[in-house]
């Protein structure tokens, strides 16, 4: 690359009119050892950019550990789901003994209700008899007044 | 979006994010923290990423905003040390050192630029973005990017030449 050409490029560079390709040419030109004295300050300038573009981020990013958390959470959720499904299924089915016991209890209750209703009916007739007695007495009172 | 897909989309520009953060925040530790923070944010919003055509530009915008916020918070929290009355007598030795690592001089000069120019010079000269992309990241017209970039480049060159001549005379 001719010197005059480089100088022209530098001028356009400072006016921000160069393309990325032309800037690459400048950077490469100033990589070499023997640069004319009057352009020596540009050497440091362009080399600085080439050098600082090699800097790397070396730490690990904190995204992976978060992901394993999700994995374990889903495992836990799956276990909880399976346990609950299992227990619901079990509670729906009764064993034969339990069924018989329930039948017995049902019959016993039925009997007890029968007994209560019969006795209640008995009480009913007694109460009505009492009421008739009361009416008789009342009639007597009203007669005596008249 | 699956993790693999996410990483595939987002990891290629992690160094660019880091370098921009370092350019703005200066310290390596803070730049690393900022990078981590940014990737956490991206990961949390991963379902939204599909809406953006250019995820990289979006991430760079987020980085820029995050770093500027950090700087603002720091400025309001801290007192700055200003030692303008400090005078160095041992100029010749200092010149020697400065010439030795003139590369770090460029770094210091970029440090003194306004934030917008700093970001633009980082994106253009280090990361080689096109003007249109820079405009998208910073929400500026490409011509405005060119103007700011030209100003930044000229400032650095003038300062370099000034320091250079000062050293000789």
DSSP characters over chain A: --HHHHHHHHHHHHTT---HHHHHHHHHHTTSS---GGGHHHHHHHHHHHHHTT----SPPTTHHHHHHHHHHHHHHHHHHHHHHHHHHHHH---HHHHHHHHHHHHHHHHHHHHHHHHHHHHHHHHHHHHHHHHHHHHHHHHHH-
Residue A108's pLDDT band (cuts 50, 70, 90): very high
User: Residue A146, Cβ neighbours under 10 Å: how many?
Assistant: 4
The reply to whether residue B19 touches residue A67, judged by beta carbons under 8 angstroms, is no
Residue A106 has pLDDT above 90, yes or no: yes
Average pLDDT, chain A: 83
Chain B CB within 8 Å of residue A35 CB = no
Residue A31 has pLDDT above 60, yes or no: yes
* Residue B169 pLDDT: 44
Distance of alpha carbon A49 from alpha carbon B44, whole angstroms: 33
* Residue A111 pLDDT: 95
The reply to whether residue B157 touches residue A14, judged by beta carbons under 8 angstroms, is yes
Residues of A in contact with B7 (CB under 8 A): 63
- Each of the 169 residues of chain B gets a pLDDT tens digit; together they read 677 888 888 888 888 999 999 888 888 888 888 898 888 888 888 888 878 878 888 889 999 999 999 888 877 776 655 555 555 555 566 655 655 566 677 888 888 899 899 999 999 999 999 999 999 999 999 999 999 999 999 998 888 888 777 655 4
Give me the helices (H) in chain B, please: 3-10, 14-25, 28-44, 46-49, 55-77, 91-100, 102-111, 115-121, 131-138, 142-168
Residues of B in contact with A11 (CB under 8 A): none
Residue A119 has pLDDT above 90, yes or no: no
User: Residue B46, Cβ neighbours under 10 Å: how many?
Assistant: 17
ipTM above 0.85, yes or no: no
Q: Which among B7, B36, B106 has CB closest to A48? A: B106
* Residue B147 pLDDT: 93
Chain B CB within 8 Å of residue A62 CB = yes
Mean pLDDT (whole number) for A105-124: 90
Percent of chain A surpassing pLDDT 70: 90
Chain A CB within 8 Å of residue B30 CB = no
Distance of alpha carbon B60 from alpha carbon B136, whole angstroms: 10
The reply to whether residue A16 touches residue B125, judged by beta carbons under 8 angstroms, is no
The reply to whether residue B14 touches residue A48, judged by beta carbons under 8 angstroms, is no
Q: Which among B6, B106, B145 has CB closest to A45? A: B106
Residues of A in contact with B36 (CB under 8 A): 59, 61-62
Which carries the bigger pLDDT value, residue B94 or residue A88? Answer: A88
The reply to whether residue A41 touches residue B161, judged by beta carbons under 8 angstroms, is yes
Chain A CB within 8 Å of residue B33 CB = no
pTM of the model: 0.62
């Amino acid at each position: 690359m001719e010197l005059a050409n480089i100088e022209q490029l530098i001028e356009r560079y400072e006016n921000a009119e160069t393309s990325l390709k032309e800037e690459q040419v400048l950077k490469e030109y100033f990589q070499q050892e023997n640069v004319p004295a009057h352009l020596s300050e540009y050497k440091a300038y362009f080399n600085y950019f080439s050098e600082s573009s090699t800097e790397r981020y070396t730490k690990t990013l904190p995204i992976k550990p978060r992901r394993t958390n999700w994995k374990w959470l889903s495992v836990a959720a799956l276990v909880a789901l399976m346990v609950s499904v299992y227990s619901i299924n079990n509670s729906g089915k009764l064993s034969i003994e339990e069924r018989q016991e329930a039948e017995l209890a049902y019959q016993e209750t039925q009997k007890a209700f029968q007994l209560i209703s019969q006795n209640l009916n008995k009480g009913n007739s007694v109460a009505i008899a009492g009421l008739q007695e009361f009416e008789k007495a009342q009639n007597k009172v009203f007669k005596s007044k008249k | 979006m699956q993790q693999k897909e996410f990483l595939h989309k987002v990891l290629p520009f992690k160094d660019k994010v880091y370098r921009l953060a370092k350019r703005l925040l200066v310290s390596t530790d803070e730049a690393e923290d900022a990078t981590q923070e940014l990737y956490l944010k991206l990961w949390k919003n991963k379902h939204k990423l599909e809406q953006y055509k250019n995820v990289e530009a979006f991430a760079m915008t987020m980085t820029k905003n995050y770093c500027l916020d950090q700087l603002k918070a720091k400025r309001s929290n801290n007192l700055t040390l200003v030692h303008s009355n400090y005078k160095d007598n041992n100029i010749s030795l200092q010149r020697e050192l400065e010439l030795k690592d003139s590369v770090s001089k460029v770094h210091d000069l970029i440090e003194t630029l306004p934030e917008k120019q700093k970001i633009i010079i980082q994106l253009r000269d280090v990361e080689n973005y096109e003007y249109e992309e820079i405009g998208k990241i910073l929400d500026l017209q490409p011509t405005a990017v060119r103007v700011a970039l030209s100003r930044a480049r000229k400032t650095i060159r003038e300062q370099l030449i000034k320091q250079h001549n000062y050293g000789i005379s």
